[in-house]
Structure 1
Amino acid sequence: MSSELPKAETSTASVPPTLSAVGKRAGVSSITVSRVLRAPDLVAPETRARVEEAMRELGYVPNLVAGALASSRTNSVGVLVPTIANSIFADTVQGLSDELEPLGFSVILAQSRYDAAREDRMLAALLSRRPEAIIMVGSPATEEGSRLLRHARIPIVETWDLPATPIDAVAGFDNYKAGVAVAKHLVAQGRKQLAFIGGDDPRATRRWLGFRTEIVASGLPEPRRLILERNASGSVAAHAHLPDVDAVFAANDAHAIGFMAGLRKAGLLCDGPASQQPVAVIGLGDLEMGRLFSPALSTISVHGDAIGRTAATLTVERGGERKVDLGFELVLRDSG
């Protein structure tokens, strides 16, 4: 059996309709069809209607790539997120889309899956499409990623963090201070055996560092850190790996909820207030499912929508402040 794929049969139906074909169907020149696409207000309404009807009949779709090559504009913005599986980033993507799309920009979304090598590949793929700007959650994980973005000569906006030396602009919050805030609260509660669970990506690591530093400074034993496998829920950590803790800071709400599910299974979760919880749990992201869980999840609330909208503004406006701290809020509920 041949290993080659079968060749497609040649037919006129497989050839996309052209400007010339549309013009012929509408009884106008190719230039008129192009004008309908690029400057419709300059074309008489009757002629424009004929051209648009011909495009519908033929199934004509404008070649935006060809247009971009001619004008050096693509009217697109590349957006790189760690994952679309975790809704924690959805508000940011929605916010920037709501701002950019009315301005005529399309959003091209890619995901790194918390993999540095994949992130570099996705950045290269996005840049190959000649976007007007790149917006990414976090900062480049490698020197190669930084080099790609610095040489792109387009607006670059890093989000969900506040790097000391951003490539261009940044809109986010201080992950280190978020960890400090959680640690101060748990220490004030009288918790003694603390732990951090989550991934080892740069943003989670900064949350851990702030958490750890504050706890050690308070005179308590160094907290434990459990690095979860990519896409792990956190439930496996609840009893088998952290049997003696009385407080946990999870890098995000999804990990926190998974951990709490494990605690409930182990009989270490009650439906009372935070003071009655054998193990206090605090997450990050303020997801709706955390508010609906019982007990309701305490969390760091991040202004994801505002981050997205601010990132969009930073891509289209070159003046003013290029480093915007949108802060966070410690929201206390019954879990901790």
Structure 2
Amino acid sequence: MNDVAERAGVSQMTVSRALRTPDLVAPATRARVEAAMAELDYVPDLLAGSLAARRSGLIAAVISTFENAIFAQTIAGLTACVEAAGFSILLGSSDYSATDEERLLRAILGRRPDGVVLTGTLHTPRARRLLTTAGVPVVETWELPADPVDMAVGFDNPAAGRAMTLALHSYGYRRIGFISPSDENDRRGLQRREGYRAAVKELRIEPREVSAHAVITGMESGPQLLDEMLKRFPDTDAIFCSLDAIAAGVLLAAQRRGIKTPSELAISGFGDFAIAQPSGLDLTTVHIGGRDIGTRAGELLLARMRDEEVPTPIVDIGYEIIRRTSA
């Protein structure tokens, strides 16, 4: 560190500050320090630094799956936020299993992260105890729990599911089906199904539900799910899918079968990910600010670590119905 300070023309304390709290160092000075580190191939001893500062410099993020990109925007927003404050991300996946999440949390908390971000609110009792006794801020995301472990950033999944169903009805569709994974660990999919059921009951129309047999479901499931829907409910004129990836697979399968969309069959998804946008398949969908979820989660963690007051520990980012050519 002394060599870096000498090369950059600053004090050793400035080098230390640039490593631990870069936002408190002038950009030009920080750039000189980073250049000197690169020239000298200097790698900071983070373990020694964490012992001295009683901080690891790590933010742990446990997402539900690596299998598709639904949480990529959230991790991108979180990473950009906390890295600007000098922290690094430690990333793991629970594979939609509360038991695996507990095991992963045991391993992660042993490394003393300075904060934890989780996608979801379904935890084992032991995992919840681990989180509440860890002594670090915790943010649950993608849902709005009534009783959060600590803080939460998300949106109302049942309300969003209801809103999309009502929107399809307002577009003129009357025989609306719903497709989602069947696994009980997919709380968000179940909540969207809850919203769908509330809407069809309100509209006094027949519910038409098909469930995928795996919680991690993508485009490859489209043909089978479309066949099952049309076999059970052949006069279906619209299908609402709980994920954009499922909707994309159903849309492509319909096109290959010569089914005209949206005149013969409308299709909608959930998430507004890249595949759903006009540059992709132009899917009608529920837009969720995935990156905003990550950014707001990072801001809550940083505020708590700075001992700042958090007046709103549960943040609702909302949702928006986006109508495109698939419906």
Match of 1:302 among 277, 288, 309: 288
Match of 1:105 among 71, 81, 87: 87
Work out whether 1:216 is the aligned partner of 2:201: yes
Other-structure match for 1:45 = none
Question: Alpha carbons of 1:324 and 1:279: their partners in 2 closer, same or farther (altered >3 Å)?
Answer: same
Match of 1:247 among 238, 252, 272: 238
Query: Secondary structure, in 3 states, of the residue corresponding to 2:104?
Result: helix
Match of 1:207 among 148, 169, 192: 192
Letter in 1 for 2:173: G
Work out whether 1:75 is the aligned partner of 2:60: no
1:167-186 equivalences under 5 Å are: 167-186=149-168
Structure 1 residue 335: Cα displacement: 0.9
1:1-336 equivalences under 5 Å are: 38=16, 61-188=43-170, 189-198=172-181, 200=183, 201-229=186-214, 230-233=216-219, 234-243=221-230, 244=234, 245-270=236-261, 274=262, 276=263, 278-292=264-278, 296-317=282-303, 318-336=309-327
TM-score, normalization: structure 1? 0.78
Residue by residue, what CA displacement relative to the aligned partner does 1:149-175 show, whole Å, maximum 9, x if unpaired?
112121111111111111111111100
Q: Report the Cα distance in structure 2 between the residues aligned to 1:123 and 1:179, rounded to whole angstroms.
A: 31
Letter in 2 for 1:314: L
TM-score, normalization: structure 2? 0.80
Q: Report the Cα distance in structure 2 between the residues aligned to 1:39 and 1:158, rounded to whole angstroms.
A: 30
**Contact conserved, 1:173 with 1:328, CA < 8 A, in 2?**
yes
**Contact conserved, 1:116 with 1:141, CA < 8 A, in 2?**
yes
Structure 1 residue 220: Cα displacement: 1.2
Question: Alpha carbons of 1:35 and 1:296: their partners in 2 closer, same or farther (altered >3 Å)?
Answer: closer
Q: Report the Cα distance in structure 2 between the residues aligned to 1:193 and 1:38, rounded to whole angstroms.
A: 60
Residue by residue, what CA displacement relative to the aligned partner does 1:289-333 show, whole Å, maximum 9, x if unpaired?
222478620000001121111111111224211111110000001
Identity level (%): 31
**Contact conserved, 1:179 with 1:210, CA < 8 A, in 2?**
yes
**Contact conserved, 1:301 with 1:329, CA < 8 A, in 2?**
yes
Q: Report the Cα distance in structure 1 between the residues aligned to 2:88 and 2:69, rounded to whole angstroms.
A: 21
Letter in 1 for 2:282: A
Residue by residue, what CA displacement relative to the aligned partner does 1:266-306 show, whole Å, maximum 9, x if unpaired?
22233xxx4x1x22211111122222478620000001121
Q: Report the Cα distance in structure 2 between the residues aligned to 1:260 and 1:291, rounded to whole angstroms.
A: 14
Question: Alpha carbons of 1:225 and 1:148: their partners in 2 closer, same or farther (altered >3 Å)?
Answer: farther
Q: Which has the larger radius of gyration?
A: 1
Moved more, 116-125 or 190-199: 190-199
**Contact conserved, 1:179 with 1:211, CA < 8 A, in 2?**
yes
Q: Report the Cα distance in structure 2 between the residues aligned to 1:316 and 1:199, rounded to whole angstroms.
A: 36
Question: Alpha carbons of 1:291 and 1:38: their partners in 2 closer, same or farther (altered >3 Å)?
Answer: closer
Moved more, 166-175 or 84-93: 84-93
**Contact conserved, 1:260 with 1:269, CA < 8 A, in 2?**
no
Q: Report the Cα distance in structure 2 between the residues aligned to 1:86 and 1:239, rounded to whole angstroms.
A: 20
CA RMSD of aligned residues (A): 2.9
Question: Alpha carbons of 1:247 and 1:293: their partners in 2 closer, same or farther (altered >3 Å)?
Answer: farther
Q: Report the Cα distance in structure 2 between the residues aligned to 1:195 and 1:61, rounded to whole angstroms.
A: 52
**Contact conserved, 1:286 with 1:301, CA < 8 A, in 2?**
yes
Residue by residue, what CA displacement relative to the aligned partner does 1:35-82 show, whole Å, maximum 9, x if unpaired?
6863689xxxxxx99xx78x977x664331233234321121111112
Letter in 1 for 2:192: R
Q: Report the Cα distance in structure 2 between the residues aligned to 1:251 and 1:183, rounded to whole angstroms.
A: 11
Q: Report the Cα distance in structure 2 between the residues aligned to 1:63 and 1:34, rounded to whole angstroms.
A: 14
Q: Report the Cα distance in structure 2 between the residues aligned to 1:223 and 1:240, rounded to whole angstroms.
A: 13
